[in-house]
Chain A
Amino acid sequence: MSIDRDEVRRIADLARLEIAGGDVDRMAKELSAVLDFVAALNELDLADCEPTSMVPAAASLRDDEPDGRRLTSEAALAAAPERERDFFLVPPVVENVNP
């Protein structure tokens, strides 16, 4: 199993990452090596194995229970790189808006 340069760029786009031009080849090589390694799983007989996403005993989730403690908006905004009043400020998200 191998990943080529285009595949690295495609995954990087999905992950909102930019891989510098010179690093794409190295990343393709390293990821391919890891995929070759995980191919070992094909040696296991997994026919009767249902997928485990969590350890079952711990996955018995309960209903939410409000406990009264909450974060103020001031505390939540304290680390914001840019803010305006009680909002996180970002560049325009919607394009071509006609007033």
Chain B
Amino acid sequence: MSANRWWGRPATTLAACVARGELSAEQAVESGWEAASTWEGDVHAVAHADATVRARAARTAPPGPLRGVPVIVKDNLCTAGDYPTTCGSRILAGYRAPYDATVIRRLRAAGAVLTAKGNMDEFAMGSSTEFSCYGPTRNPYDLTRVPGGSSGGPAAAVAYGLAPLGLGSDTGGSVRQPAAFCGVFGLKPTYGRLSRYGLVAFGSSLDQVGLFARHAGDVALLYSLLAGPDLRDATTRASPPPDVSAWDRGVKGLSFGWPENLWREGVEPEVVAALEEAAACLERAGARRVAFDFLPGTYAVATYYLVATAEASSNLARFDGVRYGPRAPSTDVWSLYVRSRSQGFGPEVKRRILLGTYALSAGYYDAFYLKAQRARTRIRREYQAAFGRCDFMLLPVAPTLAFRLGEKTTDPLAMYLSDIFTIGANLAGIPGLAVPLGLAGSGLPRAVQLVGPEDSEPTLLRAGRALEVRGEVARLGREHETEFPWPMKR
């Protein structure tokens, strides 16, 4: 692998070559599937695919900035007329959405081709993509390890080259953490910048569609095409989204926060090494480090597992065997609900629905849900104070590199703690960018996270780009394409 000269190229390059007629949209799409023929059987990133459907989509793709560029999207984004939308759950087995999510409409209008739906933890609840009714996805860098989650399918597929772009959803880190584990970029935008219309709801005040790409410039392009107000999602912001076209401008004059107290314990040495290397890169490129202490992430995790589960217990009440999905045979409506839900939902979803129902139930509401909402205010203030002192913060994405399959499935709390550095951004509604930083000695991808105030995507992308070229200022402004890091061994 690979005689296929198009495989692994950035979306911007593919789109330019299609526009110039150097390759057809079909060839661009199939170049990724050639890689898949080698890898997909082991990695299992794909939940739904159909060669006829994608060939037709490639043939009919309209002219646009992404014409012919394949994109893999998470199985919780509604797509009409091509693939099922099942959220990795038996309770939506075979479900076909009657409409496109707004982000899907915008992708198609830009000429992109949906090449597959990606595997995920059931209803986006999980951090390893092991809780899918289709079975686990594996990390393409080490098949004994998880790709992260819950958007592990799109992350792994973008990493091995099925597509240069992917869409996921990030409620507590579900785009950034798998991006980190798979060595690709993962952006969770500011809450309200990308429409949630057609994204199956999990925690509505936290959910945000997120982006995967292998290059900072591709993230910027994808963001610019998808962000913006949507009449069908009242939580989208009415103002125009920030301009990310200066993603390649460098970081001279910017300052980054360095809350070292967060990784003094409980964080793997390889993760700390990546942070130190990233800080040195940013300084070399002209940014200034500002050290301060920050609120430990355990409070954010505690807040999140009350807020997100409460919202989930309410959102998932709609899956009851009445309007869609399989129905358990019943003679009365009570057992129709209970049986359809009990047979349809997997163990992690049930656990979270129960926890959320408990937090919202009479007698416990004040002690749990209301307290968590107050803590959310406290956490937001903590970020506001930090961004009074710096333009963005440098953080780990996760406390570890990719962990082994099965390592955390029997200990829910241990799994929840793998989101300790990502959850805060969802609670505060601010953007976070996972940036790949090469491979550890073990061969596993390393990454760091950049978190900034609302609408700081342009700043985060500039810093992400500076890290992509390892702080080599001289390279900024030259050809955007950087080497694809995939260490292909087959």
Interface residues of B in 228-255 (CB under 8 A from A): 231-232, 234-238
C-alpha spacing A80/B317, complex, angstroms: 17
Whether the Cβ atoms of B299 and A62 lie closer than 8 Å is no
Q: How far is the CB of B96 from chain A (nearest CB, A)?
A: 7
Instruction: Summarize B's interface: helix, strand, loop or mixed.
Output: helix
A33, A34, A91: the one within 8 Å of B331 (CB): A91
Given A16-B341, A40-B302, A81-B325, answer yes or no on A50-B358 (Cβ-Cβ < 8 Å): no
Using an 8 Å CB-CB cutoff, how does the interface string of A36-72 with B read, 1 for contact, 0 for none? 0111110110100111111101110110110100010
CB neighbours (8 Å) of A17 from chain B are 338, 341-342, 345, 350, 353-354
Q: Does B432 contact A (CB under 8 A)?
A: no
CB neighbours (8 Å) of B373 from chain A are 51-53
Whether the Cβ atoms of A54 and B99 lie closer than 8 Å is no
Whether the Cβ atoms of A54 and B377 lie closer than 8 Å is no
C-alpha spacing A34/B321, complex, angstroms: 29
Given A33-B413, A79-B323, A90-B333, answer yes or no on A49-B235 (Cβ-Cβ < 8 Å): no
Given A50-B374, A79-B325, answer yes or no on A71-B99 (Cβ-Cβ < 8 Å): yes
Whether the Cβ atoms of B377 and A51 lie closer than 8 Å is yes
Whether the Cβ atoms of A15 and B374 lie closer than 8 Å is no
The stretch of B127-135, B152-160, B364-372 in contact with A is B364-372
Q: Does A75 contact B (CB under 8 A)?
A: yes
Q: Does A99 contact B (CB under 8 A)?
A: no
Chain B residue nearest in CB terms to A95:
B332
Whether the Cβ atoms of B95 and A79 lie closer than 8 Å is yes
Whether the Cβ atoms of B413 and A37 lie closer than 8 Å is yes
Given A16-B341, A78-B96, answer yes or no on A31-B205 (Cβ-Cβ < 8 Å): no
Chain A residue nearest in CB terms to B301:
A37
Whether the Cβ atoms of B191 and A58 lie closer than 8 Å is yes
A27, A57, A61, A80: the one within 8 Å of B429 (CB): A57
C-alpha spacing A11/B352, complex, angstroms: 11
CB neighbours (8 Å) of B332 from chain A are 91-92
Interface residues of A in 1-52 (CB under 8 A from B): 3, 7-8, 11-12, 14-19, 27, 30-31, 33-34, 37-41, 43-44, 46, 49-52
CB neighbours (8 Å) of A11 from chain B are 354, 357-358, 361
Whether the Cβ atoms of B341 and A44 lie closer than 8 Å is no
Using an 8 Å CB-CB cutoff, how does the interface string of B366-400 with A read, 1 for contact, 0 for none? 00101111111110110000000000000000000
CB neighbours (8 Å) of B370 from chain A are 51
Whether the Cβ atoms of A33 and B412 lie closer than 8 Å is yes
Whether the Cβ atoms of B299 and A44 lie closer than 8 Å is yes
Q: Does B298 contact A (CB under 8 A)?
A: yes
Whether the Cβ atoms of B358 and A3 lie closer than 8 Å is yes
Interface residues of B in 302-361 (CB under 8 A from A): 302-303, 305-306, 313, 317, 320-327, 330-334, 336-339, 341-342, 345, 350-351, 353-355, 357-358, 361
Q: Does A97 contact B (CB under 8 A)?
A: no
Q: How far is the CB of A72 from chain B (nearest CB, A)?
A: 8
Q: Does B487 contact A (CB under 8 A)?
A: no
Q: Does A86 contact B (CB under 8 A)?
A: no
Question: Which of B305, B338, B358, B428: most chain A Cβ within 10 A?
Answer: B358
C-alpha spacing A53/B368, complex, angstroms: 14
CB neighbours (8 Å) of A93 from chain B are 333
CB neighbours (8 Å) of A71 from chain B are 98-99
B98, B191, B355: the one within 8 Å of A76 (CB): B98
A14, A39, A40, A59: the one within 8 Å of B235 (CB): A59
Whether the Cβ atoms of B192 and A55 lie closer than 8 Å is yes
CB neighbours (8 Å) of B191 from chain A are 55, 58
Whether the Cβ atoms of B338 and A16 lie closer than 8 Å is yes
Question: Which of A51, A78, A80: most chain B Cβ within 10 A?
Answer: A51
CB neighbours (8 Å) of A67 from chain B are 231-232
Q: Which residue numbers of A lie inside 8 Å of B, CB to CB? A: 3, 7-8, 11-12, 14-19, 27, 30-31, 33-34, 37-41, 43-44, 46, 49-55, 57-59, 61-62, 64-65, 67, 71, 75-76, 78-82, 88, 90-93
12 new A-B contacts, CB < 8 A, other than A15-B354, A49-B374, are A11-B361, A27-B351, A34-B355, A37-B413, A38-B372, A55-B192, A57-B429, A75-B99, A79-B96, A79-B325, A81-B321, A91-B336
Which 6 pairs from chain A and chain B are nearest by CB? A55-B429, A51-B373, A58-B192, A81-B327, A79-B324, A75-B98
